[in-house]
Structure 1
Amino acid sequence: MSRLLGYCLTLSSVDAWLSFSLIARVRLSAIERGALAYALLKSLDRDTAEMTAAAVIGQGGDPLPPFLGGMDDARQWASWASPQELKAYALAAFEAMPPKDQAAFHRHISTMEVAA
């Protein structure tokens, strides 16, 4: 793995790093890969570390303005969003609703079956 790391640093290409990732998955344990990821993320400034982790884990980013109607766009965004984003935007949207809409929303979600 150390020789492969040297090759990747020398080649400095996306293909080389993707190959490193594939081989690391086979040759290193999950604990070793996690420790390597942790050490490398710790070496980056906070913004770069967050962007890197988000690129790997995937996040929806800010919801886009609705194109037509809004519900389809909202559902599409929700399919990309991380659990933290879903919670944050759901709470913020609920808090921004007028009391009448909050009550209607509460009635709506109270009748839904929730998967455990």
Structure 2
Amino acid sequence: MTSTLSKLMNPAHKSVARMIGYSLTLGDFDGWQRFAALILARLSDRGRLGLAWAALTALDPEQIRQVTNTVLGGAGTPGVAFTDDHDEAALWANMATDDELRAYAWVTFNRLSPKEQADFLDATRGRDAA
């Protein structure tokens, strides 16, 4: 027996609903990759944004970072500074993954002279973490 709502549903939405069930059942990368291709073809921007919002709000912040880093990738190596060094560094840091930030911060700090390290630590002591 088909429900009234099912009879009124857009066929594209029905195919998306079926495919999410298949992807959940398979539970592998290929299934989710095929689901992504299907929703790109069958759903509007608004529909895809709604699905993304619902999925992201069901995750904790660390899971959200993992997903976005996987999808968007990291910032890679910082580029050559064509403008102010601080502006370029801030731009890169906004795109970097947590692992990239930690790696560059650690190596950069250790590359500073002992006096520069002490000055840096003095400047940052007592400041609340962001």
State the SS of the aligned residue for 2:80: coil
Q: What's the CA shift for 1:109?
A: 1.7
In structure 1, the residue matched to 2:29 is 37
Aligned length, in residue pairs: 79
One of 6, 9, 20 as aligned partner of 1:27: 20
Counterparts in 2 of 1:36 and 1:71: CA distance versus 1, 3 Å: same
One of 105, 108, 114 as aligned partner of 2:123: 108
Counterparts in 2 of 1:108 and 1:29: CA distance versus 1, 3 Å: farther
Counterparts in 2 of 1:35 and 1:103: CA distance versus 1, 3 Å: farther
Counterparts in 2 of 1:29 and 1:78: CA distance versus 1, 3 Å: farther
Find out whether 1:64 has 2:79 as its counterpart. Answer: yes
Q: Which amino acid aligns with 1:36?
A: D
Counterparts in 2 of 1:113 and 1:54: CA distance versus 1, 3 Å: closer
Q: 2:111 & 2:119 partners in 1: Cα distance?
A: 14
Larger radius of gyration between Structure 1 and Structure 2: 2
Q: What's the CA shift for 1:105?
A: 0.8
Q: 2:28 & 2:112 partners in 1: Cα distance?
A: 44
Find out whether 1:86 has 2:121 as its counterpart. Answer: no
Question: For residues 3-18 of structure 1, what are the structure 2 equivalents within 5 Å?
Answer: none
Task: List, as ranges, runs of 4+ consecutive aligned residues in structure 1 with deviation greater than 2 Å.
Answer: 32-35, 37-40
TM-score by length of 2: 0.49
Same amino acid, percent of matched pairs: 29
Counterparts in 2 of 1:109 and 1:74: CA distance versus 1, 3 Å: same
State the SS of the aligned residue for 1:92: helix
Q: What's the CA shift for 1:56?
A: 1.4
